[in-house]
Amino acid sequence: GEDVEQSLFLSVREGDSSVINCTYTDSSSTYLYWYKQEPGAGLQLLTYIFSNMDMKQDQRLTVLLNKKDKHLSLRIADTQTGDSAIYFCAEINQAGTALIFGKGTTLSVSS
Amino acid sequence: EPEVTQTPSHQVTQMGQEVILRCVPISNHLYFYWYRQILGQKVEFLVSFYNNEISEKSEIFDDQFSVERPDGSNFTLKIRSTKLEDSAMYFCASSSRGFETQYFGPGTRLLVL
């Protein structure tokens, strides 16, 4: 079945770049997403990428997609303490009716 | 900017009681979803709803659960006879179409004692 895997923790210093990685199993996924969850809060859509793209850039965020390896990454440039949160990778299922989430990567940014 | 809203933000209930979690999706969206997140675990899909019927449900969404769109704006999740293991954050989401981006509400934290 569909599954999404992420590393659980990442710790960086303020100003550095952060790279959060994700692998997924369903090669037919059309959309892949990154959501951000701050403590006690809901899921905020950060960005998404369509499966026919290799890269998408949105201000400090860069998403890279390697379809051959089923690997997705989120790069945050000039990471700030306000970026500290849990980042979830998600793929849409084949029917387009449900998101399959990874366990989330906790990003800790120290000053 | 339009957003999904959920009420209540927190709910405490006794085991065996029924709870109704409410959501107001984004107004021109047609697809509605419920997810849950048990503390420290991944976000899990429960159910999707379109055109006044369930379009897909997960194994978690058994007879204890039901969804309803009672009017043109609300979307509810009812949990009958709550169990301790139903304690979780419940998220509502909506999208304009299938395969389109899902926008999430802030969640309802349910605690079953």
Contacts of B98 in chain A (CB under 8 A): 95-97
CA angle A74–A79–A83, rounded 5-degree value: 80
3-state SS of B41-81 is CCEEEEEEEECCEEEEECCCCCCCEEEECCCCCCEEEEECC
Average pLDDT on A13-40 reads 90
Q: Is A34 on the interface with B (CB under 8 A)?
A: no
- Residues of chain A above pLDDT 90, percent: 71
Chain B residues 20-79 within an 8 A CB cutoff of chain A: 31, 33, 35, 41-45, 48, 55-56, 58
Q: Is A100 on the interface with B (CB under 8 A)?
A: yes
Contact B96, B31 (CB under 8 A): yes
Lowest mean pLDDT among A1-5, A70-74, B54-58: A1-5
Contacts of A96 in chain B (CB under 8 A): 98-99
How near does any CA of chain A get to the CA of B56, in Å?
Answer: 7
- What residue of B is the nearest CA neighbor of A101? B43
> For residue A25, what pLDDT band results from cuts at 50, 70 and 90?
confident
How near does any CA of chain A get to the CA of B41, in Å?
Answer: 6
Put simply, the answer to whether B43 touches A31 (Cβ < 8 Å) is: no
Q: DSSP character for A49? A: E
Distance CA(B112)–CA(B36), nearest Å, equals: 14
Mean pLDDT for each 10-residue chunk of chain B (113 residues)?
Answer: 91 97 94 94 94 93 95 93 96 88 94 97
